[in-house]
Structure 1
């Protein structure tokens, strides 16, 4: 496993604040599904101007979510890619300022809205997906520690199968994966 393949945890409130913007989430999605891009190519793909994209790219870079690719640079043009293997965790409430809590809550709402849209899409399209949509539901009785162990094992499994568009074999497609656990009582 190379250094770039190792899981890195990001739980710094300031870094997470960088994610609490819809355009930044779109940038990360585009880099994750389409591969490296410049601010110019991202601007065209996302319908934004390059100045706006450059600002948001800097915020994502500062937060540790993207990295530049110096070997692809030509002149002043910088190429960006998403950082692989990130484990983004919400810091404990007591470690955040009020402003950071507001940003974390906004990020939580954006992510949940996306998750609801994905669940609705799964419901509507799964039967016709020809095996491209898979899901599972379960109920288990776990201790808090076992739930934490399950979560860590899931992250390890994600890391094992994690690759960007540059490393994907022929026939691979970008697949959105979600997992969450919550008490049933």
Structure 2
């Protein structure tokens, strides 16, 4: 899979934007299947599966800085084909950043038994 970074400000036609949204939805379906696989296989993964979730309150400038530092971190650990360290494995590493707005999921409440 090719690394695709989507900074704001890319010039796109309406058709390109629509296609990008559809492609993004397909990629997110793949991403969600990876998350399910990570949780389902967590105990048997021998430490390979790592799952992190976080919420941060950031300014626009901090979001940009965070994304730039994330890209630099990926470059730091990237190796060229044929130069991978012994014992290394291909890992799926995905970052999605967006404003966390709207209603929070609510767990169902079971009625008290009388």
Secondary structure in 1 aligned to 2:41? helix
Alignment of 1:162 with 2:74, yes or no, is no
How far apart, in 1, do the equivalents of 2:55 and 2:6 lie? 24
Which runs of structure 1 show a deviation greater than 6 angstroms over 4 or more consecutive aligned residues?
A: none
- Counting helix residues as a fraction of each chain, which structure ranks higher? 1
Higher relative contact order (CA 8 A, sep 6+): 1
Superposed CA offset, 1:76-111 (max 9, x none):
xxxxxxxxxx55326647x31122122211211111
RMSD across aligned positions (CA): 2.0
Within a 5 Å distance, the mapping from 1:33-182 to structure 2 comes to 88-89=5-6, 92=9, 95-182=11-98
Q: Return the structure number with greater strand share.
A: 1
**What is the count of residue pairs matched by the alignment?**
101
Q: Calculate the TM-score normalised by the size of structure 2.
A: 0.77
* Structure 2 residues without counterparts, runs of 5 or longer: 102-114
